[in-house]
Amino acid sequence: MKALVTGGGGFLGGVICRMLRERGGEVRSFSRGDHPKLKELGVEQIRGDIANEASILRAAEGCDTIFHVAAKAGVWGAYDDYRRANVVGTENVIRVCRKLGIGKLVYTSSPSVVFDGTDMEGVDESVPYPDHYHAFYPKTKAMAEKLVLAANDEKLATVSLRPHLIWGPGDNHLVPRIIERGRAGKLRRIGKRDNKVDAVYIDNAAEAHLLGADKLAPGSAVAGKAYFITNDEPVVVWDFIDQILDCAELPPVKKTISPGLAYFAGSVLEAIHRTFGIKSEPRMTRFVARELATAHWFDIGAARRDFGYAPRVSMSEGLERLRSSLNIA
């Protein structure tokens, strides 16, 4: 395999690059910066903007597979920024595949593309897209996923993977946010339900991408489909947050606010930030309030069946690895 990994300098993209190199594959990363860890792995790095088709075209020359991981994540920001990175960027990647005759496209999506604000317990890939989204990230990721799946044909095989709450050592999003807010005393439980959620350890999420690529070919069982990717160990969301805090020797979250108050606060804070042009993320948003107050765990039977995905690193082992990475005895 000679692969291009868009977003190769990021958390998930970097581990995908490492695993591809461990297999002996030729790997090229496309991202906005230079990353010393990728250089150490022997990964060729191309700098560019995912919204610029010409730069992706140069980066993808000679590749047979693209792992399209690059995206604008988060729950706050301008719609045009999300659309440019997530939708236009994906349109560009698909066009590059066509122009260069690249036969495999593995897309990193998210279960949030089907989140409708209510409990999702043990659902599979048959669950539909919602009519409305409370954040631009899931909206634009859903738009991009639809483009990827529609692009599947006899020349370009595509697959969309939906890893949920990727975490582990090296995480630059979920874990640092929890630790930072916990240290500042800004975390609050939302409601008193023991709602369960799925998460996925970083190595498991990355391996799923390689396994999906292995089975991907025109007309194959995985072509043109989307798959949930998790650790298959649903956990009570607040227990999981407390476990991450414990890894950093921080106390558990004890204060609680009601789901209704959290949602209302999110609405008010969003309005204030928009009115005054505040670019920083509000302390609460409607999307986060709904995510933390509901259950969302998924059936990964299709991924097990179609490309042999089975999480190798358990949640408990992952927590021990996280604790070690934070230099906590």
pLDDT tens, 124-149?
A: 999 999 999 988 999 999 999 999 99
The whole-number pLDDT of residue 292 equals 85
Percent of the chain with pLDDT over 90: 83
User: Does the pLDDT at position 75 exceed 90?
Assistant: no
19 inside domain: yes
The whole-number pLDDT of residue 74 equals 86
The 10s digit of each residue's pLDDT in 92-109 is: 999 999 999 999 999 999
209 inside domain: yes
194 inside domain: no
* Conformational region of residue 275, where left means phi above 0, alpha means psi within -120 to 50, and beta covers everything else: alpha
57 inside domain: yes
* pTM of the model as a whole: 0.94
Tell me how far apart the alpha carbons of residues 203 and 6 are, in angstroms, rounded to a whole number. 18
The 10s digit of each residue's pLDDT in 77-95 is: 899 999 999 999 999 999 9
The whole-number pLDDT of residue 206 equals 98
Tell me the two tokens of residue 150: 């529609």
Among the options 82, 137, 201, 309, which is catalytic? 137
129 inside domain: yes
Closest CA to 176 of 112, 232, 250, 115: 250
Tell me how far apart the alpha carbons of residues 33 and 48 are, in angstroms, rounded to a whole number. 8
For the segment 189-200, the average pLDDT, to the nearest whole number, is 93
246 inside domain: no
For the segment 19-23, the average pLDDT, to the nearest whole number, is 97
Show the domain range for 106.
Answer: 2-168+199-230+296-313
Is 263 among the catalytic positions? no
The whole-number pLDDT of residue 291 equals 85
User: Does the pLDDT at position 328 exceed 60?
Assistant: no
For the segment 186-195, the average pLDDT, to the nearest whole number, is 90
Axis crossing angle, helix 174-183 with helix 237-247, rounded to the nearest 10: 80
Axis crossing angle, helix 286-293 with helix 259-275, rounded to the nearest 10: 160
For the chain, where are the E strands, in sequence order?
Answer: 2-6, 26-31, 44-47, 65-68, 104-108, 120-123, 157-163, 166-167, 189-190, 196-197, 200-201, 225-229, 235-236, 256-257, 296-298
65 inside domain: yes
Tell me how far apart the alpha carbons of residues 272 and 193 are, in angstroms, rounded to a whole number. 29
261 inside domain: no
Tell me how far apart the alpha carbons of residues 36 and 39 are, in angstroms, rounded to a whole number. 5
User: Does the pLDDT at position 279 exceed 90?
Assistant: no
**Averaged pLDDT of the chain:** 94
User: Does the pLDDT at position 6 exceed 50?
Assistant: yes
CATH of residue 56's domain is 3.40.50.720
The 10s digit of each residue's pLDDT in 228-265 is: 999 999 999 999 999 999 999 999 999 999 989 988 88
User: Does the pLDDT at position 329 exceed 50?
Assistant: no
Domain total in the chain = 1
